[in-house]
Structure 1
Amino acid sequence: MSLRPIMFVGTCSDAGKSVLNTAFCRIFRQDGYRPAPFKAQNMSLNSYATPEGGEIGRAQAVQAEACGLLPHTDMNPVLLKPSSDQTSQVILNGKPVGSMSAREYFRTGNTRELWGDVVRAFRRLEARYEPIVLEGAGSISELNLRDRDITNMRMAQEAGAATYLVADIDRGGVFGSVYGSVMLLPEDERKLLKGIIINKFRGDASLFEDGKELIRKLTGVPVVGVIPYFRDIFIEKEDSVALETRATTAVEDKINVAVVLLRRMSNFTDFDVLEHDKRFHLYFTDSLSEIQRADIIILPGTKNTVEDLQILHSNGIAEAVVRAYRNGKRVIGICGGYQMLGIRVEDPGRIEGRQEKMAGLGLLPLVSVIQDKKVVCQSRFRYKDYDDICEGYQIHMGQTRPEGPALFPGLNVLVDGTTEGCRLNDYCWGTYMHGILDNPVVLNDLAAACGNPEKSGFNFSEFKQQQYDLLAGHVRKAVDMDYIYSTIVV
């Protein structure tokens, strides 16, 4: 039995498309198929390095993991990474091709050219996997962007996908958002909609039976599922809106880890593991007092190191971090945060803005130079002097070199024998390695340094696989799977 593609589109951003896509990737895998995710164009600062050295949105990497696949650039051929309020870096087939303003990007010529790349990536994926589980972006009814859209209904038509509209009932106005989204589509696109899924329902879903019938009568499209709101299943989030629900203050009786909130923060999923290890308390903050309460302070990655570093100097956080280090707190920098811990950051080509040079925090004897060339790779390494083989990935524009007579050991030793990162002492280190905290040896080392010698048996990779199964079960019970299969069986 062959299955044609299935696509999940939304009434709005953050309706839950990515999570539902992940759920169906897992469901199809559980049912014996070989699914693969696809999103034509993604906009996110949370990205991931594929084995072949390309860069894709983190959500597609998560969905690939739910499918039991290694991520590939064909799963997300176009990635936009905002670098300022006006411009985004454009990643095409895993490689940066320049920065553009929204006006430049949406010019007809650009989208026409990108559309060809998108279709070719989809066809390559379709030749290897079945079914392809596509994800739309934002709302399907952005009338001003319809002619230049390469992600939503145009992609559904090209793929011949059975398309399902996802609506977030938790934010209110579900009838208006569903009706408007459906009725603003031209007739040929409306015919692609096979069902509507109401997401994030709080309370007894059976009380929405009348609502389901009303929506069917209004739109002519059946409601095929009402997904209960959940808090007890962990799926990595891609959109920074997820940070709005994260802790912002320290607590008692745990190792407090403060991640400094940056304006262009990227890859905040680096720290998800800390929310599930009972020895630690993770919180995100730009409060000077909360930074001082932390046992460990982390400067995270950023899409614009120079701009975010300037903000840290102006709001007093840079000084607060240095003061915390001198008072015996541990300070860690990852990627852009690693660059910030050095003596200075140079941007001679003004890639990140008008500043050619910016003083760093001065904790590490390093100078970083922002360059056009982007390093994107997966890495295996040994952390400090431990024998355990760790895994991580690098995504950065820039090279970091030591400055001054003092030499300090690297933090990591890669499998080829070269060193990476810098360890000033047990209280301060930096690295380009995203995902470094996912390795148990690193968390055990940090916990022991903060006075907790207990070693955790927590395995983050196994935990995530369990969560995909929980999510699949949660969604499977809430939707009409027989109906959904009837719309994709060829």
Structure 2
Amino acid sequence: MKGIMIQGTGSDVGKSLIATAFCRLFANEGLKVTPFKSQNMSNNSYVTVDGKEIGRAQGVQAEAAGMEANVWMNPILLKPRSDIQSEVVLLGEAVETFSGKDYRERFYDKGLEVIRTSLHYIKENFDVVVIEGAGSPVEINLNDRELVNMKVAELADVPVVLVADIERGGVFASIIGTLELLAMEERNRIKGLIINKFRGDIQLFQDGVNWLEENTGIPVFGVLPHIDNHQIDEEDSLSLQAEPYQRGNREIDIAVIHFPYISNYSDVEPFFYEEDVAVRFVKDPSEFGKPDAVILPDTKSTIQDLQMIKNNGFEKLLVKYVQDGGFIFGISGGYQMMGTEITDEFGGDTGIIGCNIKGLNLIPARTFFRDATETVRSNGHYHLRTSLKGNTTITGYEIHLGRTEVNAEYKSFLMLDDGKSEGYYGENGRVIGTYVHHLFHSDEWRNQWLNHIRNNKSLPSKSVVNTEELKKERYDRLANNMKEHLDWEKIKDMVNSWESEK
């Protein structure tokens, strides 16, 4: 198999972003390239065209590669439901919830089987694969049954590039320590080093490059600068900052409530392309301020996160905010919280059959959790009874465990193509709830919602922002920026000559 694997000295060193850039660079050279990550742990997922669920990072990397995302790109997705349990999504479908110990003991052989099958599919259908590892390849307590680093490099039989984050400090120790802890056959597979997130004059690190090459015998393929505000989806919430895109004096302030088990927060990513919009992820009521709009995002544990809202004072704050005329938009788990009551009929959310909790009482709706997650692509239009203008097609997807019953006297938000009414639309559009993810990726809908907020502030309306074109430009900008600081020809030579060198 022709390809390359990006591993790191630790988590959040930039593997996902580098893999995204590599996918774009190979694609720009006319190759049919695919991303691959055998096992991903993230609640920020991506739904394929056939309604299957994979890690968000691999969906984004597929976009950068100019490919339609599929389940073979991320065959195993772990979605944390608590500190000790994760739901296992296998080839796009949820199958079971495991503790960490049970997963290692009961799932390993099945995991290896599906990884082999996925790699076979990729070998038969693509010219080159860009594989992303996870965490560090030298987690000694886990390595006897690991499914995502050196075992995958061995199965795919590709060379490895090791990435280290210089911003954290200790970059030399992290590289040398990683190499020393690898078995000799694993160390021999590492054919290059990349130093990431450098700030300042890169020429000042040349002595460091020389030292690494002399003492490891491994070439440094590049020293990459820290890229601020790249506006490309990160893999998981490790990369979320309190105010990641608060730049300058923005006229529209959107507060996104940062639940402990926040998921699919990429729903808000398109706002980063709006020049007058600032997005803040708010963890504590003290950070709330006076936002122009609030988004309640999805969560992998609705009842636990709703209990958090009640315990830390967010509940009263949000209720008063809506009473005072604020704009609030709930998505999936956030939508469920907005109702009057939630009942966990089968214990699917909490593990407690029949668990019941009062909602925020912002909309007249009740939610009942079922025993199986529903994942489906959704298409439709604004419901005719709303005050929304135009006949804009809405395209998105649903990933949820529950069903929500809205009082029939109130307006639905959407009319889906299958004839079903969906969501809640109230207070002339100030209060909206829906199960459909990706709505704000619809440029027309996002523009209409923002213009409602702008007009409410006596600000002029703005025209539609084409995010797809901007996204393509940013993939190219990211790739070209990294290429400028990489020995790209040497990387390609390594990929092309790997089999002949063995």
Instruction: Identify the TM-score tier after normalising by the shorter chain.
Output: over 0.9
Instruction: Please tell me whether residue 118 in structure 1 is matched to residue 115 in structure 2.
Output: yes
Residue of structure 2 in register with 1:41 after alignment: 39
Partner Cα distance (1:277, 1:55) in 2: 28
Deviations 1:422-457 (A, max 9, x none): 112322110111111122222222233221441323
Residue of structure 2 in register with 1:199 after alignment: 196
Question: SS of the counterpart of 1:106?
Answer: helix
Query: What TM-score, normalized to structure 1?
Result: 0.95
The change in CA–CA distance for 1:251 and 1:189 in structure 2 (over 3 A counts) is: closer
Question: SS of the counterpart of 2:83?
Answer: coil
Instruction: Please tell me whether residue 80 in structure 1 is matched to residue 82 in structure 2.
Output: no
Deviations 1:310-361 (A, max 9, x none): 1111222112111111111111111100000111111022222247111111
- Counterpart among 399, 403, 406 of residue 402 in structure 1: 406
Residue of structure 2 in register with 1:230 after alignment: 227
Of 232-241 and 448-457, deviating more is 448-457
The change in CA–CA distance for 1:114 and 1:287 in structure 2 (over 3 A counts) is: closer
- Counterpart among 421, 429, 433 of residue 430 in structure 1: 433
Partner Cα distance (1:252, 1:226) in 2: 33
* Equivalent residue runs for 1:362-441 within 5 Å: 362-384=361-383, 385=388, 386-403=390-407, 406-425=408-427, 426-441=429-444
1:380 is displaced (CA, Å) by 2.4
Residue of structure 1 in register with 2:500 after alignment: none
* Equivalent residue runs for 1:47-66 within 5 Å: 47-66=45-64
The change in CA–CA distance for 1:304 and 1:288 in structure 2 (over 3 A counts) is: same
Question: SS of the counterpart of 1:294?
Answer: coil
Query: What TM-score, normalized to structure 2?
Result: 0.93
8 A contact 1:250–1:290 mirrored in 2: no
Of 25-34 and 269-278, deviating more is 269-278
The change in CA–CA distance for 1:288 and 1:183 in structure 2 (over 3 A counts) is: closer
Residue of structure 2 in register with 1:443 after alignment: 446
* Equivalent residue runs for 1:71-470 within 5 Å: 71-107=69-105, 109-244=106-241, 246=243, 254-288=251-285, 290-291=287-288, 293-353=290-350, 354=352, 356-384=355-383, 385=388, 386-403=390-407, 406-425=408-427, 426-450=429-453, 451=455, 452-470=459-477
Runs of 4+ in 1 over 3 A off after TM superposition: 247-253, 286-292
1:249 is displaced (CA, Å) by 8.6
1:106 is displaced (CA, Å) by 1.3
Instruction: Please tell me whether residue 472 in structure 1 is matched to residue 489 in structure 2.
Output: no
The change in CA–CA distance for 1:371 and 1:158 in structure 2 (over 3 A counts) is: same
Of 16-25 and 245-254, deviating more is 245-254
8 A contact 2:250–2:278 mirrored in 1: no
Deviations 1:103-135 (A, max 9, x none): 11111x421221111110121122111201100
Partner Cα distance (2:59, 2:246) in 1: 30
Of 380-389 and 364-373, deviating more is 380-389
Partner Cα distance (1:179, 1:245) in 2: 33
Question: SS of the counterpart of 1:489?
Answer: helix
Corresponding residue pairs, total: 485
Letter in 2 for 1:428: V
Partner Cα distance (1:243, 1:346) in 2: 31
Partner Cα distance (1:489, 1:124) in 2: 20
Letter in 2 for 1:59: A
1:181 is displaced (CA, Å) by 0.7
1:252 is displaced (CA, Å) by 6.7
Letter in 2 for 1:377: V
Partner Cα distance (2:234, 2:181) in 1: 29
1:49 is displaced (CA, Å) by 0.9
Question: SS of the counterpart of 2:256?
Answer: strand
Of 270-279 and 460-469, deviating more is 270-279
